[in-house]
Amino acid sequence: MIVITHDPNWVLDAHRLASLPTGTSSEEKQRDRTGKHLEYLMNTSLRGKVRLRLAGDIHNYQRHIPAPWAAAVTSNRSPATRAAGMPPVLIVSGGGGAFLHPTHCLGGETLTSVAGTGGTDYVRACAYPSGSVSHALTMQILSKFRRRNWRFDVIGGLLYLSLAHPLFTACETSHAGIATITKSSGSLQLVAAFLSDTVFNEIPYLLSSSTLSSTVFLGFVVVCVMSVDSGKVGVKFWFGTCHAVVHLFCAAAVNVAIEYCFALLSVHGNLGNDGLYLLWNKFSARFPSGAVSVDFVGSLTFGIVPAFLSISMLILDASNSQVVLRHQLCNASDVNSSWPSDAAPPPFSLYRLLYWALRSSWYWVLACPVMSGVVAIYLWVSVGYLGFHWNEGFSSLQHTGYKNFLRLKVRSDGNLDVYAIGIKKPTTRWVLDAKHKKDAMMAEAAARNGDFYPAHEWENPSRWKPQERRSVHRMLKRVGRGKKPPNAHPEVRVIDHCMIQR
């Protein structure tokens, strides 16, 4: 018999039970196992009859064989069994159209006391991709997480803004490090001052000055702790809490980085020293006739055009505008500068709104890659070294390679050949195949004459063919260098073969 189920409980249960606390009793482990009804059948009425178990759900290929018979298997192409009464071979083949799952932290090289096999231990005979390749692929989480999950910026940006928004107008906090910045300040001095201001000034103010920020942080801690893929309470608490604290530090550090950038530009330049309307004053001095024209148009449009141009220049000179506006907001005074028309200056609340818009935009642009980077590092460490979040880590990677499927052949003597077909890099672009239409017309003609022209005998049975993306010039250039010409068809090969005796 061949038993086919949806999920491979011999792999998933082993991973889940391994994450339970050390003192977990055998009774509790028994309760956490799945497939108990099937296990009962395999231990009773199906005992000794099941030769193969197949499952998908996990998006890779793995074959486990009983450890007592592993020494008899000399290669992947050798018979998988050489004695009667051998427990079933366990095969996971879920590499269809979904993203790839890792093999280095899921399945493992050994499985102990697999349910439904009389407590037999198993060893892994084949994995596609191999454990070393799977572990190497985790590095792509660092480089491709944000590019392949760019919508995550919406969540990350809003979360960081809700945490750090009280720091934008935090006039009460004193940046002791900024006050010590001079033209002769060294890199180490700046880094030490930056860390000191972030940890001892910004973070305490962030948590104590805003109910929203403290509530969001507490909620974020709970989410991070509960989402840790481990059954051990201590691991969940410390790993999740550290993850949340790193995000808190980064949320404050982004704002401090902006302040330090402005401080350095003020020390080494003249940022914020020439008033709010620096660009407008330079425009008026350089093009006096243009300023007169703007005033004239302003008198006809009730001052709308000059106001629009001035605010546009404030946005263009965003760094200078933020420095001056924050100084004015912290001193609770009106912005005293020449307005480009006879109309009254806008109210003070407009300047506050403009400052918030500029600072939020700058903060969003810098915070989104930082947020994504922290999550990417968290998933990389979890999947690559701790065995956590194997599904979340590789689903965010969205790797489209290492597809696989099975072909089963029952021989005339009753033995079963199992072939695993692998496609390392499948085609993603397809075009209609004109040659397929010819075969289809031949099949229709044969059907009208009462004959049968099966599809597997067609020269071009598929309606679609891979799209050749390389130009002829690049192909000839590649061949001239002695390299293999590009081929649109992916490499398809047998990655595993075993023969199961009846």
**Whole-number Å distance between alpha carbons of 173 and 206:** 10
SS3 label, residue 9: helix
Contacts of 133 (CB under 8 A, 6+ apart): none
**Whole-number Å distance between alpha carbons of 357 and 338:** 22
Q: How high is the pLDDT of residue 196? A: 87
Number of residues in the chain: 502
Element (H, E) at 407: strand 403-410
In this structure, which amino acid lies at residue 81? Answer: T
Q: How high is the pLDDT of residue 347? A: 54
- Kindly give the parts of the chain with pLDDT less than 70: 71-85, 172-180, 182-184, 272, 303, 332-348, 469-489
Q: How high is the pLDDT of residue 322? A: 81
Give 195: exposed, middle or buried? Use CB within 10 Å, 0-12, 13-18, 19+: middle
Share of the chain residues as helix, strand and coil, in percent rounded to the nearest 5? 55, 15, 35
Q: How high is the pLDDT of residue 78? A: 46
Q: Which two tokens stand for residue 451?
A: 């004959």
**Whether 336 contacts 351, CB under 8 Å:** no
**Whole-number Å distance between alpha carbons of 299 and 283:** 19
Q: How high is the pLDDT of residue 79? A: 46
In this structure, which amino acid lies at residue 196? Answer: S
How many Cβ atoms sit within 10 Å of the Cβ of residue 69? 19
Transcribe 475-498 into DSSP letters: HHHHHHTTPPPP-SSPPEEEEEEE
Q: How high is the pLDDT of residue 173? A: 61
Contacts of 291 (CB under 8 A, 6+ apart): 283, 284, 340
Between the alpha carbon of residue 57 and those of residues 41, 101, 232, 263, 423, the distances in Å are 22, 10, 25, 55, 18
Name 462's bridge partners: none
Residue 325: phi and psi, rounded to 5, are -65, -40
Q: Which two tokens stand for residue 272?
A: 């914020």
**Whole-number Å distance between alpha carbons of 81 and 72:** 8
Give the pLDDT confidence of 2-48 residue by residue, as tens digits. Answer: 999 999 999 998 888 877 777 777 777 777 788 889 999 998 999 88
**Whether 116 contacts 38, CB under 8 Å:** yes
